[in-house]
């Protein structure tokens, strides 16, 4: 499996420019959101989901969206979706928690993972992703990302993904007095 150095060399070899910035290791979107990056582009949330039949999906959505897994399962024509374990993430894509991005599909030689990108990101021109390690962020232009994904036979499906509806916390409402 490729690591960060090999991935960046592969991108350079293919003429796909990325700009990288080193930073402290982050494990989730909350930590990532606190990073003060000089890079500009869309920060994305990357989730490895699996269904009851064992199919796996790398879902890319906006950094702030809390995904409705039931609605996402319907869109993907799947039964119940769940988050893949950290062990599965490493076994299948060679990355640790916090490092997942479409770049990890370079390690999916068997084409076991379907890439699904939220249509809400369709107008973005530049994306920010971890290049297989969460101590670095790389910016890549949308066109270059498309070329990269085609070169590794992982064409994305762009679909509308719904956010989970938030329900009011009635315990908090009890403390409010309506006049």
CATH number of the domain to which 157 belongs: 3.90.960.10
Does some domain include residue 168? no
Confidence of residue 66 (pLDDT cuts 50, 70, 90): very high
Check residue 61 and give its pLDDT.
96
Does some domain include residue 167? no
Please give the residue range of the domain that contains residue 78: 4-162
Segment 40-51 shows an average pLDDT of 95
Mean pLDDT value across the chain: 90
Q: Which of 9, 37, 2 is nearest to 135 (CA)?
A: 37
Please give the Cα distance from 132 to 8 (Å, whole number).
10
Quote the pTM value: 0.88
Per residue in 93-118, pLDDT (tens digit) is 999 989 999 999 999 999 999 999 99
Confidence of residue 172 (pLDDT cuts 50, 70, 90): low
Does some domain include residue 178? no
Check residue 179 and give its pLDDT.
42
The tally of domains found in the chain comes to 1
Segment 60-80 shows an average pLDDT of 94
Please give the Cα distance from 15 to 13 (Å, whole number).
5
Please give the Cα distance from 15 to 9 (Å, whole number).
10
Does some domain include residue 22? yes
Q: Which of residues 26 and 86 earns the better pLDDT score?
A: 86
Does some domain include residue 83? yes
Does some domain include residue 175? no
Does some domain include residue 179? no
Does some domain include residue 170? no
Least confident range from 22-31, 87-96, 131-140, 166-175: namely 166-175
% of the chain with per-residue pLDDT over 70: 91
Confidence of residue 165 (pLDDT cuts 50, 70, 90): confident
% of the chain with per-residue pLDDT over 90: 79
């Amino acid at each position: 499996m490729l690591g960060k150095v090999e991935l960046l060399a592969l991108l350079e070899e293919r003429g796909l420019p990325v700009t990288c910035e080193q930073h402290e290791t982050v494990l989730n979107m909350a930590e990532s959101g606190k990073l003060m990056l000089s890079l500009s582009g869309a920060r994305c949330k990357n989730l490895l989901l699996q269904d009851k039949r064992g199919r796996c999906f790398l879902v890319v959505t906006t950094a702030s969206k809390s995904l409705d897994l039931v609605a996402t399962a319907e869109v993907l024509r799947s039964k119940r979706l769940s988050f893949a374990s950290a062990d599965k993430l490493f076994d299948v894509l060679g990355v640790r928690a916090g490092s997942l991005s479409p770049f990890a599909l370079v390690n999916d030689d068997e084409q076991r993972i379907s890439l699904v990108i939220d249509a809400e990101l369709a107008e973005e021109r530049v994306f920010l992703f971890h290049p297989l390690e969460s101590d670095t962020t790389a910016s890549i232009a949308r066109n270059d990302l498309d070329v990269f994904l085609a070169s590794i036979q992982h064409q994305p499906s762009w679909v509308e993904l719904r956010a989970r509806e938030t329900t009011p916390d009635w315990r908090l409402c009890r403390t409010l007095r309506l006049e």
